Amino acid sequence: MTILPAMPSLPEHRLSIVIPMYNEQLCVAPMVERVHECLADYPWPWELIFVDDGSSDDTVKEIRKASAARGHHVRCVELARNFKQTAAMQAGIDAAEGDVIVTLDGDLQNDPVDIPRLVARLLNEDLDLVAGWRLKRQDGLWLRKIPSRIANRLIGRVTGLRLHDYGCSLKAFRGEVIKSVRLYGEMHRFIPAWLATVTSPRRIDEEPVSHHPRTLGQSKYGISRTFRVILDLLAVYFFLRFRDRPGHFFGGAGLALSTLGSGILGYMGILKLCGEDIGTRPLLMLGFFVLLGGLQCILTGVLAETLSRVYLGSGDGSSYVRRHRKEDSREPSWHQPEDGQPS
């Protein structure tokens, strides 16, 4: 029998645990068992939401089997195809009904035993996000640890938000805050940075958590993830600084190029007035194309400003398509403390 740490003091709340799954049929039953073991004495209602991200194995069957055995507080959100982890996480957050939302990976490397401690810090210290920090990470050195360290430093330098471990999926959020942002692409790695756009960085902190080596299933990550992080980081840099004013980004570059191009063409015009032949001068073509590029940037900035107004005003976009079933239409159910009251 695993010895569990004492349950911390927790203010009244409802807890939603969101776990994205992709081809993890072997991990479902152990994960359900571990969550129930670690939250057996949890004093407030909680629900467990698995998001099947278009798995091609029996992951969905295992989740529904667990729901039938454990109760309707174990829920399945089934996506129509594989939309990747960010969209799956967003689908789970959208489905969550709790005041506090905790996310973690479904490969059993994150340990649910840390959930009460993260939630206690979130609520008792009035934070909006407590991110897990895998202090003793149990992954390969070259393919996982070193690329992750490089990515963490790049993210911290670009976003200005200093955390030790951006990639840890085990995080505790205040529900109303995480629901105020939308996640797209591969942006689950940058959730702390996105949250910093709607809340103060002082309300974001981290907490050391356990990390176990993978013993079931196969890893979905490789060295290619590092290159995707770099590309995503460029997008994050743009959105954090210019999301609501993209015209400043493109317009600034356009004005600089237009000024340079105009200066070159003005200089060539003076030479022409002085009687020199400028028809074959490469500088004439350079000035023309630099000026043209500047005008294009300015027009792109105007279009980007228009699109940003539409984007900020709609809020209707979605990064996933959910597959609806009859059993998913039930009212949310909560796992209650055994005596019905907080212990």
pLDDT digits (tens, 9 = 90+) for 34-78: 999 999 999 999 999 999 999 999 999 999 999 999 999 999 999
Q: What is the pLDDT of residue 304?
A: 81
What integer pLDDT is reported at residue 61 of this predicted model? Answer: 95
318-335: string of b/e by CB count within 10 Å (b at 16+)?
ebbebeeeeeeeeebebb
C-alpha dihedral (6, 8, 10, 13), degrees to nearest 10:
-60
Looking at 3.90.550.10, 3.30.70.2860, 3.40.47.10, 3.40.50.620, the CATH number of the domain 15-242 comes to 3.90.550.10
Rounded Cα–Cα distance for residues 277 and 299 (Å): 33
Query: Interhelix angle for 146-159 vs 224-242, to 10°?
Result: 10
Q: What CA–CA distance (Å, rounded) separates 343 from 335?
A: 14
For the chain, give every domain's residue range.
15-242, 246-313
Q: Residue 324: which H helix or E strand, with range?
A: none
pTM for the model = 0.76
The identity of residue 115, as a single letter, is I
The residue ranges of the chain whose pLDDT is under 70 are 1-2, 137-152, 154-156, 158-160, 185, 214-229, 243, 308-309, 311-321, 326-332, 338-343
Amino acid 99: pLDDT = 94
How far CA 103 is from CA of 89, 191, 293, in Å, comes to 8, 11, 45
What pLDDT sits at residue 233?
Answer: 73
pLDDT of residue 343: 44
Is residue 186 within 8 A of residue 86, CB to CB? The reply is yes
